Amino acid sequence: MLKEYCRALAIALALAVIPAAAGAQPPAQEGFVPVEQLPGQEEIPAAPLVAAAYGIAWAAVLIYLFSIWRRLGVVEREMAEVSRRVQARGRT
């Protein structure tokens, strides 16, 4: 009984201490600091990412339209073949 109590207490302490240690924040700054004086942060330029996203989207649309065009050609050839067979069967 005492072992189970100690084990439960150890688990409870571990669950309480680990998240608190992981969520430690940097020390707070004192007073107002202008933006110009803050340390630089990593910045990713948006324009190349937006251009790449639009490029990928347009490429996907063009590939889709090309595949539809090819499938439509196959269907048209099959329809012409069926029409030719029906006409040939009607003559005999």
Domain boundaries, the chain: 47-92
Shortest CA distance to 29 belongs to which of 18, 19, 39, 15?
39
**Dist CA 10 CA 78 (whole Å):** 75
* pTM (predicted TM-score): 0.48
Please state which of the ranges 2-6, 48-52, 74-78 shows the lowest mean pLDDT.
Answer: 2-6
Query: Residue 33 CB: number of other CB atoms within 10 A?
Result: 9
State residue 10's pLDDT score. 80
Q: How confident is the model at residue 77 (pLDDT cuts 50, 70, 90)?
A: very high
pLDDT greater than 80 at residue 30: no
What value does the mean pLDDT of the chain take? 85
State residue 9's pLDDT score. 78
**Dist CA 13 CA 5 (whole Å):** 12
